[in-house]
Chain A
Amino acid sequence: GAVVSQHPSWVICKSGTSVKIECRSLDFQATTMFWYRQFPKQSLMLMATSNEGSKATYEQGVEKDKFLINHASLTLSTLTVTSAHPEDSSFYICSARVRDRVSYEQYFGPGTRLTVT
């Protein structure tokens, strides 16, 4: 149980275009989803926290107009990288929180490798 999927697993796009990444919780409802960015050989950097039905909360330094997050349902959140540039190339990982009585544990998607040419 507690499976999180991401689509696509990898994407190559041209500079200036927009890319949408989907994150789905397959067998549970996720009231909260997180989007992380990971650079090579580095830790995960939290970009934003999204709650179903409300606006995402962005971390300091993350451009909300560039990284659009939508959490339209309890099982789907999307991250759209608008007007992508080569410096946006990265590994993007989503996570969904399983709400139980104790731990509010997070489960992670497999990640999406974005390459902007």
Chain B
Amino acid sequence: AQSVAQPEDQVNVAEGNPLTVKCTYSVSGNPYLFWYVQYPNRGLQFLLKYITGDNLVKGSYGFEAEFNKSQTSFHLKKPSALVSDSALYFCAVRDFSGGYQKVTFGTGTKLQVIP
């Protein structure tokens, strides 16, 4: 079975400071990893994905994520937070081993950027 853990329910960061939203995963095969952002009463918006290749993935709105296989982590980062980044962030994993197709989402982390 595959799983995703987002250990922090909420992350607070001052505007202009770097931010990190943590995610760890568990899969039996090679992971496909995703980050999504959700604004209130809205669907999820895709931020970035890791499939293969460079461990540092760059995505939308200045976000990036670092894939660390040894630590089974895929933390989301941004060098300088904006108030408009305040939202709910979901990490997701898809295990392609054996043709398993389902995407599993983490419980979400609320990011609050303080002006």
Contact = CB atoms under 8 A, between A and B. Distances in A.
A107 B90 contact: no
Contacts of B44: 44, 93, 95, 108
A111 B38 CA distance: 11
Contacts of A44: 44, 90, 105
Interface of A is mostly: strand
Contacts of B106: 43
A42 interface: yes
Interface residues of B, number: 20
Contact of B51 (A49, A93, A102): A102
Given A95-B44, A104-B101, A106-B34, 18 more contacts: A4-B43, A42-B108, A43-B90, A43-B105, A44-B44, A44-B90, A91-B41, A93-B43, A102-B51, A104-B94, A105-B34, A105-B46, A105-B49, A106-B46, A108-B36, A108-B46, A110-B43, A111-B41
Q: Which 3 A-B pairs have the closest CB atoms?
A: A108-B43, A108-B44, A110-B43
Interface of A: 4, 6, 34, 41-44, 46, 49, 91, 93, 95, 102-111, 113
